[in-house]
Amino acid sequence: MLRSYPAEITMDRVELAAAIDALIACAEACTACADACLSEDSVAELTKCVRTNLDCADVCNATARVLSRHTGYDANISRTLLEACAMVCKSCGDECGQHAEMHEHCRICAEACRECARACESLLATMS
């Protein structure tokens, strides 16, 4: 879709596409991890993990939607969202990382969160 956009996109299209892909993958991983946490016998111990997963999924989805639109683009909005998303992904990755040895879904989610944070930071580095 980015290649078919008829006007100029002021961001690196490769970095932008990678960030959008990472955001969508992270949102999916977080949603699935939250759902899996709710099915664990130790669900009470995973309350913060579920909440962090759901917050991260919402932020990633919103950021992906905003980054997918380019008409009337405002770099300040994209930059702020990317910074917030990187922070939320780091927090979620840390929370899931605490449960990774016990729950495979948390390990997978932590990896997706860390990758998404890197992708957000990488795109931020290309923005002027």
Is pTM beyond 0.75? Reply is yes
Residue matched to tokens 């580095």: 125
* Residue from 19, 46, 26, 23 nearest 35 by CA: 46
Q: What is the pLDDT of residues 1-56, one digit of tens each?
A: 556 555 565 677 889 999 999 999 999 999 999 999 999 999 999 999 999 999 99
CATH number of the CATH domain containing 101: 1.20.1270.360
The reply to whether 79 falls in a domain is yes
Q: What is the pLDDT of residue 29?
A: 98
Q: How far apart are CA 89 and CA 102, in angstroms?
A: 20
Half-sphere exposure of 33 (CA within 13 A, CB side): 37
Tell me the per-residue pLDDT of 61-109, one tens digit each, with 9 for 90 and over: 999 999 987 666 788 899 999 999 999 999 999 999 999 999 999 999 9
| Cα dihedral 9→70→120→49 (10° resolution) | -160
pLDDT given at position 114 = 98
Number of independent structural domains in the chain: 1
**Residue 111 falls inside a structural domain:** yes
Q: Hey, how many other C-beta atoms are within 10 angstroms of the C-beta on 55? A: 15
Measured CA distances, 89 to 4, 7, 31, 41 (Å):
30, 31, 13, 25
